[in-house]
Amino acid sequence: MSKFMLTQEKVISILIIVVSLLLMGGIGLTVLFEDGSGDRSVAKEEMPVMPSLEGYSFEEARDYYKDMFEIAEGGQDHSEKYPAGAILSQSIKAGEKYERGAYVTVTVSLGAKNNVTEAPVTEVPAGPAAEETSASEAAAEIPDKVKDNSPAAFESYIPEDEVELDMLGFDTDILEGRAAEIYDGIYDILRPKGVDAGYMYYDPQTGRSIEYNADERFSAGSIIKAIYARSILDGTTDLDQGYEMTEEMLNGPYEFINGQPVGTVFTVRELIEAAIIKSDNTAYKMLYHYVGYDGFNKYAESLGLPQRMTDDNYWFRLTVRESMVYFKEIYNFISQDQNGALMKECMTNTEYRDMFAGALQDKTVAEKYGYLPQEGFYTVGDCAIVSGDDDYILVMYWRNTGETVDTEPFRKIAVLTDELHAVIQ
């Protein structure tokens, strides 16, 4: 009996061991099979790359990317929702890989929508110097409802409802005879471009204006250099303070200010002159780095405008209307402030004067152009204070394709606007 019991117990123990081994082996085989078959038949999904959210409104980014990652506000406390909030930063930077379903926080600024996203620079056509594309100018897919024209479907988008040329503050009977002909001539140049052109004329003596597509957002390019310079010419910045041009401060490996070597010390005054007159990118970068951007942010806020500089963003897209607000203030600054003479001297002596100034050589034109080449197209703009018998301010942006920059529309518009300004006085 005892022998049988021992034998039975041994058999049961052996069976238990065998079953355990079979179960463990089955699990191992299953794991190996799943891993192996996964490698052979199903390609592993690569981690997606985070797009740039900067410039989208909070709601646009949240709605458009809701199936790709979670997005929530953070960094600033706002009591309102974000119908007009522009994203300034994000927790996962553009270009970084992320896990699907990742949680992305953003910093939101209240103000007019600042819908960004255009393709990065790939080649530089002949023409005026272009600024370096910043992180916030990085490529990203554009939702259909974003107002900026999509680079992927660029070639002059004309909306179903034509963009009108509007006169504000004028008597209804002002457009008669020659004035009507000039007005129609301006519209004939702008209308074929649809939303890829923006224009505004403003008479500071009367407050009257003419505008076309004034709320479309364009790459301002180097126009921001004059606006930034104005913000630091507020009397609190020491214009004689010197700063060293280091290799880190070069905008590019060959972008030396005035051809001077690394180690050269430039005063704030010299940097402002280089940034505006020569549209020097390194000079602008040095100013932004050394003098900072608090003054600019306070300046923009005082004008009720949404642009805010951050550590990694000092280029902007502007509407024609926003650009006009900045240049109205610059117009007053030139005539009223002790540093206004320096501002005017720089803007009336810019080296590239092939647009408004080129057409109005009998006038004093204080201007700053901007130019940004991008994949398949470019944006060029000019903002000018024109002085003659009477002063006026002129702003224009133009998106176009081609290997060379076409500035002829700016000269045509300048001539027509100058004549219209004289006729309607």
**pLDDT tens sequence for the chain (425 residues):** 433 344 555 545 555 555 555 445 444 433 333 344 344 333 445 677 677 776 666 666 666 566 567 777 765 544 444 444 567 777 787 777 777 667 777 776 544 333 333 322 223 333 444 444 433 332 222 223 223 333 333 444 555 567 899 988 888 678 888 999 999 999 999 999 988 999 999 999 999 999 999 999 999 999 999 999 999 999 899 999 999 999 999 988 889 999 999 999 999 999 999 999 999 999 999 999 999 999 999 999 999 999 999 887 888 899 999 999 999 999 999 999 999 999 999 999 999 999 999 999 999 999 999 998 887 888 999 999 999 889 999 999 999 988 788 999 999 999 999 999 999 88
What is the model's pTM?
0.66
CA terminus-to-terminus distance, the chain:
127
Distance CA 340, CA 366 (A): 12
Query: Architecture of 41-111 per CATH?
Result: 2-Layer Sandwich (3.30)
CB 212 within 8 A of CB 163: yes
378-381: long-range contacts, CB 8 A cutoff, minimum separation 24: 378/125, 378/127, 378/402, 378/405, 379/118, 379/218, 379/219, 379/221, 380/127, 380/128, 380/221, 380/355, 380/405, 380/407, 380/410, 381/218, 381/219, 381/220, 381/221, 381/223, 381/323
The strand pairing partners of 368, in sequence order, are: 383
3-state secondary structure of 37: helix
Residue 418, Cβ density class (10 Å: 0-12 exposed, 13-18 middle, ≥19 buried) = buried
Distance CA 341, CA 325 (A): 20
Name the amino acid, one letter, at 372: L
* Matching residue, tokens 């997606």: 48
Q: What string of DSSP letters covers 57-95?
A: BHHHHHHHTTTT-EEEE-SS--SS--TTEEEEEESS-TT
Longest dimension (CA), the chain: 129
Which element (helix H / strand E) includes 103?
strand 103-110
Where do runs of H (alpha helix) occur along 79-197? 178-190
CATH 3.30.10.20 region(s) of the chain? Answer: 41-111
CB 149 within 8 A of CB 157: yes
Distance CA 65, CA 57 (A): 12
3-state secondary structure of 399: strand
